[in-house]
């Protein structure tokens, strides 16, 4: 193959990957009832079930989907969230980080980086698919959660929904806080 053909093929592959993201990258919309779920978290006491609807009627919920533990942007996001967790508590919100990693991997990562956000394992990708934030073939290694943020009101309705353009982009946390303050 000629070098221009290789470049053209690379551009086509990149465009196709972007198109896949655009097609699948539309999270469920604001005003929709949030799909309920029960996911596992790992604590010092063992595995624990976290059910979204347990917050309904009590507090708002922030869901932060992220691709993979032990990656630069995901570590930055969860460490920054840990540092600012008090802001969300002050807005009567529970914050959950969700990825396709195992609960054991998430626990080790949280300990290593002193992450105190509750991390939930969506190993089977059922919640990722329910919120329509599946990122197909991230870096060619497999399907993961896209980076996305949702604010769910006490009534169980989505007040804010965002999927970032790329896995390296962070959600608009000012907009998340504004949605919580409404």
> What is the reported pLDDT for 134?
85
The Cα angle at residue 114 between residues 158 and 180, in degrees rounded to 5: 20
> What is the reported pLDDT for 89?
93
pLDDT tens track, the chain, 182 positions: 444 333 333 333 333 344 333 334 457 889 999 999 999 999 889 999 999 999 999 999 999 999 889 888 888 888 888 888 899 999 999 999 999 999 999 999 999 999 999 999 999 999 999 999 988 777 777 788 889 999 999 999 999 999 988 888 889 999 999 999 98
> What is the reported pLDDT for 3?
41
DSSP string, 118-166: EEEE-TT-HHHHHTT-EETTGGGS--EEPPEEEEE-TTSBEEEEEE-SS
Residue with tokens 């999927």: 163
Q: What is the pTM of this model?
A: 0.83
* Residues belonging to the active site: 74
Q: Please choose, from the candidates 124, 92, 121, the residue with its C-alpha nearest in 3D space to the C-alpha of residue 109.
A: 121
> What is the reported pLDDT for 132?
92
> What is the reported pLDDT for 143?
81
> What is the reported pLDDT for 34?
96
Domains of the chain, CATH where assigned: 3-181 (3.40.30.10)
């Amino acid at each position: 193959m000629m070098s221009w053909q290789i470049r053209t093929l690379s551009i086509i592959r990149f465009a196709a990957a972007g198109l896949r993201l655009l097609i699948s990258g539309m999270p469920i919309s604001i005003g929709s009832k949030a799909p309920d779920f029960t996911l596992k978290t790992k604590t010092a006491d063992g595995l624990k079930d976290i059910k979204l609807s347990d917050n309904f009627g009590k507090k708002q919920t922030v869901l932060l989907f992220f691709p993979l533990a032990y990656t630069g942007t995901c570590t930055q996001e969860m460490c920054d969230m840990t540092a600012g967790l008090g802001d969300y508590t002050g807005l009567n919100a529970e914050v959950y980080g969700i990825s396709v990693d195992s609960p054991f991997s998430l626990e080790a990562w949280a300990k290593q980086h002193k992450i105190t956000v509750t991390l939930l394992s969506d190993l089977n990708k059922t919640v990722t698919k329910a919120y329509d934030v599946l990122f197909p073939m991230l870096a060619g290694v497999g399907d993961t959660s896209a980076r996305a943020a949702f604010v769910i009101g006490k009534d169980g309705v989505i007040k804010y929904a965002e999927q970032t353009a790329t896995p390296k982009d962070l959600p608009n946390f000012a907009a998340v806080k504004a949605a919580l303050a409404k």
